[in-house]
Structures are given as C-alpha cells and as structure tokens.
Amino acid sequence: MNQSKSTHRVFIALGSNMGDRVEMIEKACLELDRAGITVKRTSSLFETAPMYVLDQDTFMNGVCEVETTLEPLELLDVTQSIEIGLGRKKLVDKGPRSIDLDILLYDQRIFTHERLDIPHRMMLEREFVLRPLSQLIPHERPPFPGHNTHFLSHLNSLPPPDQTPVATTHISRHVPAIHSTDPHRPTHIMAILNLTPDSFSDGGKHSSTDFSALTNTVRNFIASGATIIDIGGESTRPGSTPVDEAEELARVIPAIRHIRTSIPEAANVAISIDTYRARVAEEACAAGADIINDVSAGLLDPEMLPTMARLGKTIILMHMRGTPSTMTKLTDYPNGVVQDISTELLGRIAAAEAAGIRRWRIILDPGLGFAKGQSQDLAILRDLHRLRTGIHGLDCFPWLMGPSRKRFIGRLTGVDKASDRGWGTAAAVTASVAGGADIVRVHDVKEMAQVTKVADAIYRG
C-alpha cells in the first residue's frame, strides 16, 4: 500500500538587501507555494542593519512558517533552487544578496549534515532572525540540547543593536513604506474621496463623471499633504442602503483611471479602494489602485480575502460587526471594547493569513463609529497605544484611524452638521497621533495635515 508522506512544520528565514527587497521576498514566498511548500504564516518584515559584513545596504528580514512533505535535504535543494532562480549570486560570505532563504527549524528535529544544520547554528545570536521568529512562536524553545529558554527570552537577552530594526509595511511604489515601530515616523494623510450621493457628510459633493472637478479636487488633496486617496463608491454610514456591484464599479473605476492617467501630480500618491466587494477590489486594482480598504475585513464577501491574496496588494482590515444597516445594534463588548476588538481583529488576521495574505501587507483599523457607541469610540482613542503594543499578535502592524466628522464628535460638541465638525475632528486626529496611528483618514485634508504636522512634532519629535 502507498502511504502518504507526513507533513512537517518548518520555519524559514527570509532576507534581501538588493533591488526591490519586498518584491524579492514576496516572489520567494510565491515560489515556495508553487513548489508545494505551503506558506502558512509570515512575520512582519523588519529593516535591519547588516551584520558581520557591515559595508553593505540594509536588509529586509522576516520569517515564514511553512508546511512541507519534503525531508530536510530535499527542502534545502528547493530553497537553493529558488534562490538561484531569483538571481542570487554568492560573491561574499554573508555579503549582499538578492534573496536568502535559511531553514531555521524543522519540527523539533536536530539534523546535522555537511550541507545543513537544523536548528540553524547561528540563529540564537542573530537579532534579525529572533525578532521575526518571536512574532510567530515567542514561547516555543529551540531544540538545542540543554536549551530551556524560549525564543522571546533569547531575543530579550541579546544586547540592543546599534540600529533598532523597524517593522516595514509596503504601501505601493508611489509612496514610502510605513515604518510602524519607528518612533519618529510621520503620519500619513488619507484623503476621503466619496463618489456617492448619500455619504453622511459629503454626499453628492464629488462625481466620477465630472473629470475637471475631480482633477481639481485631487490636486488640492495632494497640494495639501495627502499621500493616500481613499475612493469609495458606496456609503457605509449607519443605516445606509447598499448599491449594486455594477453601480459601485461605474462610480469608482473611471475616477481611478482618470487619476492614474491624467493627473501627473498623482504619480507620487497611493490610491485606496474603499469596498467590501472582491470584484470591485480586483477591477479597481487593475485600474491603478494600490490598497484595498475593506470595512468588513473580508466578512461581507467570501471571495475578498482570496482575491486580496492573489492580487498581492496592501490591505486594510477594519473592525466591524454585522452590516452598515445592523451594526448599531451590535455594540455589546462584555470584556471591554479594546479587548474584544483585539480578539476579533486577531481572528480576521488569522483568516487573512489562511487565505495567503502576508503579514507585512496588512494595516489595521479599529473601526471608529462602526458597531461602537460614543463611549467606545472614546475608549479606542484613549487606549490605541494598548491595541498597538500591548496585545500579542497585534504588534508591529500599522494602524489607521478614521475619526473625521464622526457622530460622536457631533454629540460631544453639539454640532449637527457633519461638515462643521472640523474642530472636534482636529482633537480626535491629535489623539490618534498621540496613540500611535500611522494613517489618519480625513475629509478636511488641508486643515488635518496641519494638525498632524504639529502632533507629529509634539509626540514623535
């Protein structure tokens, strides 16, 4: 009888310091998948200073967990073949390389051969290996004889590096990456461009058929400091009525194409598509969008997460419950809003990873105003730092905050007209920056860009 091969849990280090480093690592992960070596999870990508050979460019380093039926030497043959296929030429030991794939762990096995040692002999001295590995398996222990300390403890016992590694999230070719763990990073301004007649504060203001007005709007956004433009073709305000897919496409696709082909100033900004529909996301990306911003984090369309994975774009996973028409009734958080949001977002991250989305392509949004009441929105703003850094599994992600003109601001200030809530929005944007937000999504771009500049100077030096 034929017996199926058993599967093995393996951790592989990923590194590159030549060319487009993120693209090279992503190509390596795709090649692993194509070879039947299933990438189950990835760490964040960290930009790190070189070690051993110091006269070379900085590295992008990460770790992936894979599942394979290959034995260690068979797996080594495949990884080395992938390296060669992606153009690696080893000129200097530990020197520059386009791609580096090192087998770190293979089940709990100790394997010794002239070509390969498992566990990797130098892994415990390498901060750039232990940091991403500790994201995936912080409390597991290396199978070295006599080692009873888990990986996170090994990481914490190393002397601090001269240059602290920073988590890196690639947005697009048009804008610099987000370095979410850099305390001096600038806050990105995401300008809201709603092409809808019924959005809560600017419905009917913008149209995808008036290209002249669209051009002026986008140019003003960019001149005012926007680095991302978030385009939406369906209102998701509480109680909104959904539009059909064809109508949403008709609203957003012409606008994205126009921005990408007819507005030269937009060459250096990213375009985000605000949709929960997989087909809209795919066609928007084909037209020139760089980011998929899904208010449901993949819950409202079962094809969304697989589509996101296949497209390889950066995604925003927002916390929401139910639908826009039901979410106002789903505001019970028995463990506290921060704890329950974190638990539910961790579930969406796991679903995204299971679909094949890489951790370094994910941005998180706690969803102000979506299935939250006023006190809960305020708690999120007050405790954003704890969401970002105090809960294992949510660390090192960039965070987006969208307080602009929200209902809780109107209630606190007594301002009924949403477009008049600029002063309250400024306070909420400042609180978002203080809590560590990497992106703020706003209507009043010029004013909020000034707010973030001052808030960045205060809180990020």
Q: Is 27 among the catalytic positions?
A: no
Q: Exposed e or buried b for every residue in 299-330, given b needs 16+ CB within 10 A?
A: bbbeebbbbbbebbbbbbbbbbbebbeebbee
Q: Looking at 131, 185, 421, 441, which residue is catalytic?
A: 441
Distance CA 288, CA 49 (A): 33
Beta bridge partners of residue 190, listed in sequence order: 228, 441
Retrieve residue 8's tokens.
């093995």
How many degrees, rounded to 5, is the angle at CA 388 between CA 362 and CA 123?
75
How many degrees, rounded to 5, is the angle at CA 444 between CA 439 and CA 449?
50
Q: Is 89 among the catalytic positions?
A: no
The three-state secondary structure class of 236 is coil
What single letter denotes the amino acid at residue 186? Answer: P
Q: Looking at 126, 131, 348, 406, which residue is catalytic?
A: 406
Give the DSSP letter of residue 295.
Answer: T
Q: Say if residues 300 and 323 touch (Cβ distance below 8 Å).
A: yes
Region of residue 87 (phi > 0: left; psi between -120 and 50: alpha; otherwise: beta): left
Distance CA 190, CA 173 (A): 16
Closest by CA to 314, choosing from 280, 291, 348, is 291
Distance CA 162, CA 333 (A): 43
Region of residue 239 (phi > 0: left; psi between -120 and 50: alpha; otherwise: beta): left
Distance CA 296, CA 317 (A): 7
Distance CA 84, CA 90 (A): 10
The three-state secondary structure class of 269 is coil
What single letter denotes the amino acid at residue 17? Answer: N
Count the residues in the chain.
461
Closest by CA to 298, choosing from 339, 349, 333, is 349
Q: Say if residues 401 and 341 touch (Cβ distance below 8 Å).
A: no
Phi, psi of 24 (to 5 degrees): -65, -40
Retrieve residue 373's tokens.
């009441």
Which of the residues are catalytic? 406, 441
